Amino acid sequence: MTILVLGAGAVGIATAWYLKKHGHDVTVIERQPEAALETSWGNGGVIHASEVEPWSQPGMPMKIVKWLGKENAPLLLRYGSIPHMWRWGLDFARNCTPERFAFNARANLELALYSLRSLQEIAAETQIAYDRATNGVMKIYRSKEALDGAERSCVALARHGLLYERVDVARALDLEPALKDTSPTLAGGLFFKRDEVGDCNKFTQGLAAQCAKLGVRFHYSTEIQRIETAGDKITGVITSVGRIAADQAVVALASYTTPLLKPLGIRIPIYPVKGLSITFARGNWGSAPRMPVIDDSRLFGLVPIGDRMRISGSAEITGFDTQPAMPRAEAVIANASYTFPELPRHLDLATARIWAGLRPVSPAGTPIIGATSLKGLWVNAGHGHLGWTLACGSGRALADIISGKRPEITLPPPQGAVAA
C-alpha cells in the first residue's frame, strides 16, 4: 500500500520513518527543496520533555485581551487576525479551565516522554549527528510567586513521570555559572535534568536521508494544491507538478493542514503563532551558558546548539506572515541582554540569522493525531511550541495506528474532525 506523507518537517519525516519501518511503501511530498526548512528550521532546539504545559491555561484569555495591540506584549494578537480566528479563540478559551489545562498537560507529558525515548532510539540506531546535548534545562524566575506557581504545576505532573528540581540561586549558579550577572535579581529556578538539546533541522534532514536509504521516495519543490477524493475516500493528491495517486495520506503540514483540508469540509483547528529566533556563532564567548536557560519573566530562551547560540522567543498572532518583525526581534535581544549582559559583545547582527517560524497551535495545546472522516486520510499536526519534542513519538504512534497496531501510549483526545 502506498502512503503519501505530506510535509517534510520534523513531524512528517518521523512519520515516514516509522511507516517505512512497518514495511509500507512511502512517498514524501514537500514544497521546499529540502526537509525541515520551515518551522522545523530555527526553533529553540529544546527537547522539552518537562515543559509540556499548553498555552491555553487559566488566566491566559484575560492576559491576551489586556495585551491586545501592544507591540511589546509577550503574546501579541493583531486586530486584523481576530475575524479569521474567533472560532479557534473560543475553543482556546474553553481549554483554559484548571481541569482542561491539567488534563492537556498530562497528555503532552505522556507523549513527550515517549517521544524522547523514540528520539534516543532513532539517534542510537542511525548515529545522526544533530548537536545533541544532555546537560538539562534551567528555567529561571524573578519572583517567589511565579516560581511557586510553576512548581505547583510540576508537582502535579511529577506524579505522572516529570523529573524536576527546585533550585535556589546558589544551586542555580552552581549548575549554570553564566547566570552570575543576573543572580541578584533571581528568586530561584527549576532544573529539568532530563531535557535535551538538538538541532531539529539537522536531525530531520539526517532522518530524511536515512528514510531515503530505506527506500522512501521524496518529491521536493512540489506544492500540494488539493486532495483528490472519490466518494468517501482519498484517491490522490494534486500538486504543482501533477497528480500523485494514493489510497492513504498523512497530512503533516503544521499550520497549513487547516486550509488544505477546509475545502473537504474537514475542520482542523490549528492557528499559526509566529515566533522568532536569532542564531549566531558562539565564537569566543567562553562564559556563555552551557545549558538552555529559559527566562520566565523576560520570555526568551538562550540555547547553546553545537558551536552556535540561539535566542528564541516572541509569540504573535498575525496570520501566515513569516517575515521576522525587527522591533520584536530587538525586544527579544534586549530581554536576553538584560539577563546576559555579555551577550551584546558576542552577538554580531551582521552575521546572525534572524528567523521567524509559525508554531502550529491547537486550542487544547495538544497535537492533532489520527483519522479524518475521509477514508485513508490521516492528520499529524498542531504540535504548537512542542513540535521538536513531540515529533518522534507522534510519528511512531500514528504509524502504529495506520498499520493496525495499538499505539504504546494514549494519544491526546480528538480535536476538530480527527479521531485517534
Ligand X SMILES: Cc1cc2nc3c(=O)[nH]c(=O)nc-3n(C[C@H](O)[C@H](O)[C@H](O)COP(=O)(O)OP(=O)(O)OC[C@H]3O[C@@H](n4cnc5c(N)ncnc54)[C@H](O)[C@@H]3O)c2cc1C
Q: Does 199 bind ligand X (CB under 6 A)?
A: no
| Best CA proximity match to 332, nearest among 275, 389, 376 | 275
Q: Are 126 and 206 in contact (CB under 8 A)?
A: yes
Span near ligand X by CB under 6 A; candidates 1-9, 95-103, 120-128, 281-289: 1-9
Residue 268 binds ligand X (CB under 6 A): no
- Contact range with ligand X by CB under 6 A, out of 26-34, 67-75, 163-171, 182-190: 26-34
Interface with ligand X includes 381 (CB under 6 A)? Answer: yes
Question: Quick one: 12 or 304, whose CB is closer to ligand X?
Answer: 12
* Residues 32-51 as x/- pattern, contact with ligand X by CB under 6 A: x---xxxxx--xxxx-x---
With b for 16 or more beta-carbon neighbours within 10 A and e for fewer, the 25-42 pattern comes to ebbbbbbbeebbbbbbbb
Name which of 339 and 362 has its Cβ closer to ligand X: 362
Cell digits for 352? 546572525
Contact between 271 and ligand X per CB under 6 A: no
Measured from the CB of residue 84, what is the shortest distance to ligand X in angstroms? 18
- Window contacting ligand X (CB under 6 A); options: 113-121, 169-177, 275-283, 401-409: 275-283
Cell triple for 199? 538541532
How far is residue 261 CA from its own chain's centroid?
21
Q: What are phi and psi of 29, to 5 degrees?
A: -120, 130
Question: CB of 233: closest distance to ligand X in angstroms?
Answer: 21
Query: Shortest Cβ distance from residue 391 to ligand X (Å)?
Result: 6
Give CA–CA dist 264/375, Å, rounded: 12
Residue type, 165: E
Q: Binding residue for ligand X (CB under 6 A) from 20, 100, 132, 385?
A: 385
Q: Is 224 in the site for ligand X (CB under 6 A)?
A: yes
Q: Do the beta carbons of residue 15 and residue 122 sit within 8 Å?
A: no
Member of 133, 386, 398, 402 binding ligand X (CB under 6 A): 386
Measured between its terminal Cα atoms, the distance across the chain in Å is 21
CB of 353 to ligand X, least distance (A): 12
- Cβ nearer to ligand X, comparing 54 with 275: 275
Strand-by-strand arrangement of the 217-219 sheet = 217-219, 25-29, 2-6, 248-251, 377-381, 368-371
Which of 320, 266, 220 lies closest to 5, judged by CA? 220
Question: Considering just the CA atoms, what is the radius of gyration of the chain in Å?
Answer: 21
Q: Is 11 in the site for ligand X (CB under 6 A)?
A: yes
Residues found near ligand X in the complex (CB under 6 A):
7-12, 29-32, 36-40, 43-46, 48, 223-224, 252-254, 256, 275-277, 312, 357, 359-360, 381, 383-389
